[in-house]
């Protein structure tokens, strides 16, 4: 058979739930042309990035010495949960018991329908819907209606949030991705003596330049993003603020084997304009900021011992060395499994204004972690690190999270 046989047709197998056109629109290799392995690999990556398949493999089926079929073999992952209840964990609110019905591939059309409610660290109920091709080529629609009640992790207050959000998204080509949404929200902060309620409308906009090959665990490419959030107070009217977030990530594979060794860098910043009160304070010391620090609580915040961990505006950077130990594969049960290890170093500063940030010494954290791919979650992330500030290391902290830090 010829080294690059002429492809006479493209076939795919294994999609028991996913409709054919969902797959066809991701495959760009043409027929009646010689095999282009670069295009076939990009098609494979696009199919995996749908989040519907535990494994995607392409190969060629010879027809004769000059012709072949390009074949994609798909292993569908778990795409829905049965209506039921199970424990969930979030770093800032702890454990909750969730009742949920998650349909990751609703009607076989790559739509997501999520009905949920929980009690425990966070009391919630809500419904959300996403269709990434609602109005044609990568023009998406999202809807979310929810209520959340939880205790603030470092302010001695309970938060009650009612919100409705509608969003639209559009890709321009393969790499430029935009989204915009508008949210109407009512948020209350209460303790034994105080009840403060805010009603506001919040439009937001993001734009990304994304050349990553595999979204959940990139081996090459860049991800550059800009995010603008504007909050306009309705009651009170002066409850107005603008947030501008920037993030820049780059990924580089430094070996040539199937077990990837990837060097990944990220820098990000946050600016705030307008009303900056205690309710809107952010902090460092979780799985998405500077790792190696225990989560702050009310005792730490009230003591004033680590004021360098709280603020409204921030800058941070991360470098990670990511190594595949067991490359992701599909099990006989249709789930994916794999294992990766990570060495990381985080550094950053947070304070009430940029004038203060540029004058203060940064906090940092270093450590190791493991990564386990999981259906509908992308990846389970467990990190242990040690924090460093002004010449001293702390005793370390464990972080459990989902999805990559960047």
The per-residue pLDDT for range 216-253, each reduced to its tens digit, is 999 999 999 999 999 999 999 999 999 999 999 999 99
- pLDDT for the residue 93: 86
pLDDT, the chain, mean: 93
The per-residue pLDDT for range 190-226, each reduced to its tens digit, is 998 889 999 999 999 999 999 999 999 999 999 999 9
Tally of CA atoms within 13 A in the half-sphere of 238 that contains its CB: 3
The per-residue pLDDT for range 338-384, each reduced to its tens digit, is 999 999 999 999 999 998 998 899 999 999 999 999 887 789 999 99
* Residue 193, φ and ψ in degrees, nearest 5: -120, -15
Higher per-residue confidence, 132 vs 84: 132
Strand partners, 385: 367, 397
The per-residue pLDDT for range 277-303, each reduced to its tens digit, is 999 999 999 999 999 999 999 999 999
pTM: 0.90
Q: State yes or no: pLDDT of 330 exceeds 90.
A: no
The per-residue pLDDT for range 95-131, each reduced to its tens digit, is 888 776 778 888 899 999 998 888 988 899 999 999 9
- pLDDT for the residue 90: 85
**Radius of gyration of the chain measured on its C-alpha atoms:** 23
Taking a C-beta distance cutoff of 8 angstroms, is the pair 60, 36 a contact?
no
Q: State yes or no: pLDDT of 165 exceeds 70.
A: yes
């Amino acid at each position: 058979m010829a080294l690059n046989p002429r492809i006479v047709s493209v076939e795919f197998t294994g999609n028991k739930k996913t409709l054919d056109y969902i797959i066809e629109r991701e495959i760009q290799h043409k027929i009646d042309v010689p095999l282009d392995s670069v295009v076939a690999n990009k098609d494979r990556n696009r199919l995996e990035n749908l989040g519907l398949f535990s494994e995607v493999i392409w190969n060629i089926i010879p027809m004769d010495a000059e012709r072949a079929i390009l074949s994609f073999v798909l292993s569908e992952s778990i795409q829905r949960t049965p209506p039921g209840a199970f424990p969930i964990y979030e770093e800032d609110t702890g454990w909750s018991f969730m009742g949920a019905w998650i349909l990751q591939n609703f009607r076989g059309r790559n739509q997501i329908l999520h009905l949920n409610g929980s009690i425990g660290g966070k009391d919630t109920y809500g419904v959300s819907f996403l269709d990434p091709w609602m109005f044609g080529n990568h023009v998406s629609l999202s809807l979310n209606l929810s209520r959340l009640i939880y205790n603030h992790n470092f302010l001695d207050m309970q938060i009650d949030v009612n919100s409705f959000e509608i969003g639209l998204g559009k890709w321009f080509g393969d790499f430029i991705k935009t989204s915009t949404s508008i949210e109407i929200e009512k948020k209350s902060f209460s303790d034994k003596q105080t009840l403060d309620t805010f009603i506001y409308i919040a439009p937001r906009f993001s734009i990304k330049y994304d050349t990553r090959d595999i979204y959940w665990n990139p081996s090459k490419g860049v991800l550059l993003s800009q995010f603008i959030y504007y909050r306009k107070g309705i009651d009170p009217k002066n409850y107005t603020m603008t947030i501008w977030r920037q993030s820049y990530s780059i990924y580089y594979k430094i070996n040539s084997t199937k077990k990837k060794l990837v060097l990944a860098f990220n820098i990000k910043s946050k600016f705030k304009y307008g009303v900056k009160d205690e309710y809107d304070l952010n902090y460092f010391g979780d799985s998405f900021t500077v790792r190696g620090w225990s989560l702050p609580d009310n005792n730490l915040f009230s003591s004033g011992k680590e004021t360098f961990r709280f603020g409204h505006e921030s800058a941070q950077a991360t470098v990670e060395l990511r190594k595949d130990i067991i490359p992701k594969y599909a099990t006989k049960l249709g789930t994916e499994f794999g294992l990766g290890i990570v060495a990381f170093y985080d550094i950053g500063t947070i304070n009430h204004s940029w004038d203060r940030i540029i004058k203060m010494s940064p906090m940092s954290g270093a450590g190791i972690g493991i990564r386990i791919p999981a259906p509908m979650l992308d990846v389970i992330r467990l990190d242990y690190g040690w924090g460093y500030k002004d010449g001293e290391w702390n005793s370390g902290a464990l972080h459990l999270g989902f999805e990559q830090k960047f």
